[in-house]
Amino acid sequence: MVTRLVVPPEGVGETVGHLSSGELVALPTETVYGLGGNALDPLVCAKIFEAKDRPLSDPLIVHLPDSGWLDRLACPNPLATRLAEAFWPGPLTMVLPRRADVPDLVTAGQDTVAVRWSAHPVFQQVITGFGRPIAAPSANRFGRISPTTAEHVRAELDGRIPLILDGGSCRHGLESTIVLVRGEELSILRHGPVTEEQLAAFGNVKPSAGGVAAPGTMASHYAPRTGLLVLAPEQTYVPTSGTRTGLLAWKGLGAETEAKYASVERLSASGDLREAAANLYAALRRLDEAGLDQIVAQSVPGQGLGAAIMDRLRRASYRDGNPNGEGEPPGEP
Ligand code: TXA
Ligand code: MG
């Protein structure tokens, strides 16, 4: 299969056409690029799993054309309705009791469905044109870093999908926050751009450790191929001579130490967590492609958006059942 790249506004019509004829398309959202298809057609959803090499046990997020679709696919309680009013369209996914119209393949046979309404203008044009919900996981092969540009999508899925709609870089650069809503309680299944602090204003946030986890948030997720060591706050690391080490810097390690690194990527020169989140995956990809022996990442502050960044770094550092850093594997389901 030849993978073609198209750009908005001309490419929007073709993207809608592909969706309408049961094809897959990669397209931008404000978080990361998604691999989208008709959410109500099980055969199309099967193609999504196939293109990504994704296990069928890992359910898909359903993107809605507008909030009016919420009641058609899920059963929102009053708290879910309040969250939708506050954060939609935007980078929040809610896991809610499902309705029967949602294919079992989408929910992996569970009695819940994950729903989100994206704020990306190009995504909105496409889904409005299509007029139906779009199932869209991140447009990477299973277990790999999510794409934040059309070029990243090509690197992941070239030859496996017919069309990529190039809408530029994704603003947030991290996947949406996923919350499970039960009664007046929320559990964060995946940290993301909508922070725990923001969510706490709406309901009781239960610690995510106990109980349900998003099936796809396995410890080894978001992994570069090169081994990654995450430093403790304020920890320094001097590469042993003869090894090619890359640094994913937050505050930096000082000119003298950094000179010993083969490659240095800065998440944000001004110390801005939003900028750091938006740069994270592209920087990890560049380091992963630089032919290094290992990558060393500095910690970022754990509050607000920093919680989501640290979560991704810990997962990226965990491989082959062995965390490269220390501590327990994060959020193993
Ligand atoms: O920002 C995002 O959320 C992006 C864009 C494209 O929307 N999508 C995304 O999808 O990150 P994906 O499939 O890569 O990650 C969705 C996560 C998976 O870990 C999956 O297991 C979990 O959501 N999930 C989906 N449905 C679920 C459900 N019913 N219950 C619990 N977790 C669910
Ligand atoms: Mg993903």
**Separation of alpha carbons 326 and 314, rounded Å:** 9
Q: Where residue 257 falls among pLDDT bands split at 50, 70, 90?
A: very high
Nearest ligand 1 atom, CA 60: 25
Measured from the alpha carbon of residue 116, the closest ligand is 1
- For the beta sheet containing 25-27, the strands, ordered from the edge strand earlier in sequence to the opposite edge, are 4-6, 163-165, 25-27, 34-38, 134-135, 61-63, 112-116, 92-97, 177-182, 185-190, 204-206
pLDDT at 327: 39
> How would DSSP label each residue in 72-110?
HHB---HHHHHHHHHH-SSSEEEEEEBPTTS-HHHHTT-
In tens, the pLDDT along 160-173 reads 999 999 999 999 99
pLDDT at 208: 63
Contact present, 86 and 133 (Cβ < 8 Å): no
- What residue owns the CA closest to ligand 1's atom 10? 137
Q: At what angle do helices 273-288 and 150-157 cross, to 10 degrees?
A: 40
Handedness of CA 162, 154, 37, 12 (dihedral sign): negative
Q: How far is the CA of 8 from the centre of ligand 2 (A)?
A: 24
Q: How far is the CA of 36 from the centre of ligand 2 (A)?
A: 12
At position 206, the amino acid (one-letter code) is: K
Q: Looking at residue 111, what DSSP letter applies?
A: S
In tens, the pLDDT along 18-67 reads 999 999 999 999 999 999 999 999 999 999 999 999 999 999 999 999 99
Tell me the Ramachandran region of residue 131: left when phi exceeds 0, alpha when psi lies from -120 to 50, beta otherwise: left
Q: Where residue 325 falls among pLDDT bands split at 50, 70, 90?
A: very low
- What residue owns the CA closest to ligand 1's atom 18? 216
Nearest ligand 1 atom, CA 58: 21
At position 164, the amino acid (one-letter code) is: I
Centroid of chain to Cα 44: 21
pLDDT at 211: 45
User: Which runs of consecutive H residues, i.e. helices, occur in the chain?
Assistant: 10-20, 42-52, 70-73, 78-87, 104-107, 121-130, 150-157, 196-199, 255-258, 273-288, 305-317
How many helical (H) and strand (E) elements, i.e. helices and strands, does the chain have?
11, 17
**Separation of alpha carbons 139 and 150, rounded Å:** 10
Centroid of chain to Cα 167: 17
Check pLDDT > 80 for residue 212: no
Mean pLDDT of all residues in 184-206: 95
Pocket of ligand 1 (CB under 6 A): 29, 31-32, 34, 58-61, 93, 95, 107, 110, 112-114, 116, 136-138, 175-176, 178, 189, 214-217
Residue 21 neighbours by CB under 8 Å, 6+ apart: none
Check pLDDT > 70 for residue 322: no
pTM of the complete model: 0.91
pLDDT at 328: 41
Q: Looking at residue 113, what DSSP letter applies?
A: E
Number of neighbouring beta carbons within 10 Å of residue 66: 12
